[in-house]
Amino acid sequence: MIAVLGNHDFEGGKQDEIKNILGDGGIQVLDGDATEIHGVGFAGIKGFAGGFGKRALGPWGEDIIKAFVHEAVNEALKLETALARLRHRPRVALLHYSPIAATVEGEPLEIYPFLGCSRLEEPLHRYPVDVVFHGHAHRGRPEGKTAAGVPVYNVSIQLLRHTWPDRPPVRIVELPVRVSQEAEVTVAGG
């Protein structure tokens, strides 16, 4: 099992303790890291906020605004570094925050900038991935696509339960693997 931490994991300032507990339970927490499981490469980060497209927050003005944008840029660089380590396809990106606006649609417009950042989309195109999973947008849309057409799935458990109340809160995606077999990836929301 692999995972990325989210904003709730950082709330109490005990993210390292949470990461250790998950690790002790056999869960690999990705934070700018990459791993391969059954021929599928995974790269993961928490990500960060900042907004999308032309409306993304820029690094100007007060120092606190510059620091906020710097955090978004750092997370995008961590994702790029992790993706660069993957040598084979298929590749999967795991994020907490959304890299596109389409999967946050349905949330109040005023909070879009706090649900993700288009800076996270850039590394997905530089080091092409086959699919992206993220959470965080509890009332967003279940799926969208990057500008390059890569499918992006919002796997927030609240969204999955609301969208498909008669199904388990997971998304299953089949990815072709180089040795002409199919790899099944199951992502639970949360």
- Contact 159/146 with Cβ under 8 angstroms? no
Instruction: Please give the residue range of the domain that contains residue 30.
Output: 2-188
pLDDT at 176 (0 to 100) = 76
Cα 115–chain centre separation: 11
Q: What's 175's domain CATH number?
A: 3.60.21
- pLDDT-above-70 percentage for the chain: 93
pTM equals 0.90
pLDDT at 180 (0 to 100) = 42
Q: Are strands 170-177 and 181-188 parallel, antiparallel or unpaired?
A: antiparallel
- Contact 142/119 with Cβ under 8 angstroms? no
pLDDT at 93 (0 to 100) = 98
Q: Is the pLDDT of residue 179 over 60?
A: no
pLDDT at 142 (0 to 100) = 97
Structural domain count, the chain: 1
pLDDT at 183 (0 to 100) = 56
